[in-house]
């Protein structure tokens, strides 16, 4: 039951934001196996004065189009997270004009028992949503 | 010293948001025993383009009035969280027109030592705010 | 690779927000040893109806100018966090008109492997950004 926040400067169209959302969602469905309807994305469009970042970071120039995507879901192993990051970056490259250096990714962990919504059933064996792909 | 964020689509009156806040606060006071003045709620009113969620999720239709409430406080046992969730849902039903299927709840854990404000005194025995109900 | 969110009521100038950002960044560079270009700050300027807090809390009056600063980085020991808090409060006192009772601080922990950006290299020994001061 992930929840994802996207921080970006104003100026991207609704279609572009929708494409960013699609890129994120595909990655979570493909890599972590979340159900297709388990979708909650928030965009924070910010004035330049309200998003302060370095024009170059980690040795690379950073464009004002850069996005910070902050995921919230239960902690996964570092290897799984690497697959999530790679999938998000690849999907953004395919669906938007964002380049790898435009992308910041972070997971804030929140364990499965810390989520509630009506109709959600946990698999008592896995602790995850009972509908999730057993391989994930 | 909880901090709570509420995500919702634009269109709810200030009185409705105040009632949502009251429902949240009562639950945290009643179930977790936080002091009445330990209140910090933020509302993010979002354009439809900036809040992307599935119209039906976990087998239930989800109205555009739905709210996502993200709590931040020190991890509590799953049993306590179930009591918090039940209290929030009951209070929202009493104070607002929100139905259970309109409500998403999540706790992002942040331990007691990760919070600071002037005047806060920790109970060295419990690690919590010294003013908190000892039963919580 | 910290990410920091600042919540405040509308009415602070861009220069004041920039000074708050500078106060935060100096503290993270000085105490935790993050690289100077490792900077990502978001400001949420909120209408009064969207920021609900107690006018007095923990025995102290709280002004409407109060700010809530929510950090996100890998968990540090409580002793280190105390140094971060002290540094942020001191810097805000020097660079802005904020008083200690105007300041709320919180760390949401997210371990080092939960972050990705292009060009970031982790030190396999420390698990932190390879550029970080070894003493931190």
Q: How many residues does chain C have?
A: 136
DSSP string, C7-46: EEES---HHHHHHHHHHHHHHIIIII---TT--EEEEEEE
The shortest C-alpha distance from A104 to chain B (Å) reads 19
Q: Rounded to 5 degrees, what angle do the CA atoms B75, C78, A79 make? A: 60
Cut 0.90: pTM above it: yes
Partner residue facing A117 (CB), from B50, B52, B103: B103
Q: B60, A118: Cβ pair inside 8 Å?
A: yes
Encode pLDDT of B58-116 as tens digits.
989 999 999 999 999 999 999 999 999 999 999 999 999 999 999 999 999 999 999 99
User: Backbone dihedral region of A132: left (phi > 0), alpha (psi from -120 to 50 degrees) or beta?
Assistant: beta
CA pair distance B34, A70, nearest whole angstrom: 28
Dihedral sign, Cα of residue B14, residue B15, residue B16, residue B20: positive
Interface test with A, best of B31, B57, B99 (most A CBs within 10 A): B57
Tell me whether residues B44 and A44 touch, CB distance under 8 A: yes
Count of beta carbons in the 10 Å neighbourhood of residue C55: 11
Neighbours of B24 (CB within 10 A): 26
CB contact under 8 A, C103 and B120: no
Please tell me the distance from the alpha carbon of residue C14 to that of residue C58, in angstroms, as a whole number.
30
pLDDT of residue B133: 54
Q: What's the gap between Cα A16 and its chain centre?
A: 15
> What ipTM was reported for this prediction?
0.94
Option in A21, A42, A120 nearest B46 (CB): A42
What is each CA distance from C63 to B5, B17, C48, C87, C100, in whole angstroms? 20, 21, 12, 21, 11
pLDDT in tens, A35-63: 999 999 999 999 999 999 999 999 899 99
How do beta strands C103-109 and C67-73 pair? Answer: parallel
Note whether C106 contacts B118, CB cutoff 8 Å.
no
**Contact between C78 and B113 (Cβ < 8 Å):** yes
Cβ–Cβ of C106/B110 closer than 8 Å? yes
Q: Each residue of A2-15: pLDDT tens digit?
A: 999 999 999 999 99
Q: Which residues contact C26 (CB under 8 A, 6 or more apart)?
A: C87, C91
């Amino acid at each position: 039951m992930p929840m994802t926040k996207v921080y970006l400067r104003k100026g991207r169209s609704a279609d572009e934001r929708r494409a960013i959302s699609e890129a994120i969602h595909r990655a979570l469905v493909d890599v972590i196996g979340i159900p297709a309807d388990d979708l909650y994305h928030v965009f924070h469009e910010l004035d330049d004065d309200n998003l302060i970042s370095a024009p170059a970071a980690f040795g690379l120039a950073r464009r004002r189009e850069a996005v910070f995507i902050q995921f919230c879901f239960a902690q996964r192993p570092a290897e799984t997270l690497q697959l999530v990051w790679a999938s998000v970056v690849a999907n953004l490259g395919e669906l938007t004009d964002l380049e790898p250096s435009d992308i910041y990714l972070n997971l804030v962990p929140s364990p499965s028992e810390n989520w509630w919504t009506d109709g959600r059933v946990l698999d008592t064996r896995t602790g995850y949503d009972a509908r999730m792909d057993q391989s994930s």
